[in-house]
Amino acid sequence: MKKNDVSIIGAGLIGSLLGIYLQKRGLDVSIYEKRPDLRDKKYAPAGRSINMALSDRGWKALDKIGLREMVAPYVIPMYGRRVHDEHGETSFLPYGKENQAIYSISRGKFNHMLVDEAERYGAKMNFNHSCEEISIADTAIKVVLPDGTQEYRETDVIIGADGAYSSLRDAMQRQTRLNYKQEYISHGYKELTIPPTAEGEFAMDPNALHIWPRGQFMLIALPNPDKSFTCTLFLPFEGGKVCFDKINDEEDLESVFKTYFADAFALMPDLNKEYFGNPTSSLINVECFPWLANKSMLIGDACHAMVPFFGQGMNCGFEDCFILDGLIEKYGTTSWELVFEKFQKVRKPDTDAISEMARNNFTEMRDSVANPRFLVRKKIEAKLHELYPTEWIPLYTMVTFSDMKYADAYAQGKLQDEVMDKVMEDPMIMQNWQQVDYGAIISQIETARMV
């Protein structure tokens, strides 16, 4: 009798969530993870306590398998961006309508919960098991076991949820005609912390994503349930007046922080230790196609790693799981080639679109949010959405607070941008923005959609 066992490579956020989905479909899931069990405290990685912004697409994928209640106690809503200028003044830019929020959650804690659940549903977790070689033709994996010995394991299906440096993708590149493109952006990032105050309170407004936009670089901070903030500093690796290459000692570091992030600096007692102790990580965009070969397929960052500036990498990977599960529901658990074909066909245009939007959003975060013209533009768009909720939906709302296909959101966003570019050409727009003819703008977008 056919076993129909599925091997997932990688117990990150996507591999673990997929493990739960597939176990719930009655499949026999084994997950191989090269790292030690992240639930064991002694393996907590230093300087990588990233928190993630969870938004509607992610919640929808959690809802389908009843995980909302488990996750909800560990999230903090962020209703907008709190923008810090160089003088320490702040302004609040809502993400959407009142009560629309994205939710900060610790990646480590989240992954921990998903691994627990996958195990609870019966997935076999294999930590310290690195998949070194994969035979696409035989659907078999050579696994390096914790004692260093190797084992060759045959399986019915392999799904690579093994991240931006995927070993399954690597095997597909060598054994099949997979096309692959990767791009490192000029900037990297480093994790820092703003601890709770001496009174044990949040040092800043906890219900916002804090952002210090400085043109070519920026600092952001997301709240944690322990009342600290995890900050991420994005700088170019080299070139420009402020870059990782030019911060070589405490003096350089203090000078940069006192000049550009003075209010944050005052809240960071461990800055020096953290800055020089934590790793500087790079940011990569990965595109490849096809995502499948024989009975193996890629999912999550393994096939579409993107830069983090739309806060969608994980949400998009969770949506992958949701969509794949829908296809399995429709076509059954024995038609893997068909399911995989349908999956990549429906998903690739969307992941291309969100990757592109994520790249574009970097300029918005590090630069535009400090520009008064940009803020006026956003206010006009918010008003349009309030007056014409279905005719005009801001791009951020389509991506973050809906499950509209990313490619459709991107296309709509481009049309809206063209119309807004014209609105902003009015030389008096900064003074008269409250008097713009909203009805006329809607007519313009409707005409643009018909063309």
Print the binding letters for residues 21-60 with ligand FAD: x by CB under 6 A, - otherwise: -----------xxxx--------------x-xx-------
| First-residue to last-residue Cα distance in the chain | 56
Helix (H, G, I), strand (E, B) or coil at 295: coil
Interaction pattern, residues 315-354, with ligand FAD; x per rule: CB under 6 A: x-x-------------------------------------
Q: Which is closer to ligand FAD, CB of 296 or CB of 416?
A: 296
In 155-299, the DSSP E strands lie at 157-160, 179-194, 209-213, 218-223, 229-236, 281-289, 292-293, 296-298
- Residues 6 or more apart whose CB falls under 8 angstroms from that of 290 comprise 176, 178, 344
Closest CA to 62 of 381, 322, 303: 322
Residue list 180-209, contact with ligand FAD (CB under 6 A): 189
Among 8, 10, 324, 413, binds ligand FAD (CB under 6 A): 10
101 near ligand FAD, judged by CB under 6 A: no
Interacting residue with ligand FAD among 19, 311, 394, 413 (CB under 6 A) = 311
Q: Which is nearer to ligand FAD, 56 or 423 (CB)?
A: 56
Which range of residues in 62-70, 295-303, 375-383, 442-450 is near ligand FAD by CB under 6 A?
295-303
| Whole-number Å distance between alpha carbons of 216 and 203 | 26
Q: Which helix (H) or strand (E) holds 326?
A: helix 313-331
What is the CB neighbour count within 10 angstroms for residue 444? Answer: 18
264: nearest Cα among 11, 24, 87, 19: 87
Tell which positions 58-87 bind ligand FAD, by CB under 6 A. none
Q: With residue 447 as reference, give the H or E element that holds it.
A: helix 438-450
Sole binder of ligand FAD in the list 130, 285, 397, 412 (CB under 6 A): 130
Euclidean distance between CA atoms 214 and 412, whole angstroms: 29
Minimum distance from residue 375 beta carbon to ligand FAD (Å):
23
Query: Looking at beta carbons, which residue is closest to ligand FAD?
Result: 12
Among 6, 7, 8, 14, binds ligand FAD (CB under 6 A): 14
Per CB under 6 A, the segment of 93-101, 223-231, 313-321, 373-381 that binds ligand FAD is 313-321
Site for ligand FAD in 156-185 (CB under 6 A): 161-163, 167
Helices (H), 54-129: 56-64, 68-71, 107-120
Task: Return residues touching ligand FAD (CB under 6 A).
Answer: 9-15, 32-35, 50, 52-53, 130-131, 161-163, 167, 189, 232, 300-302, 308, 311-315, 317
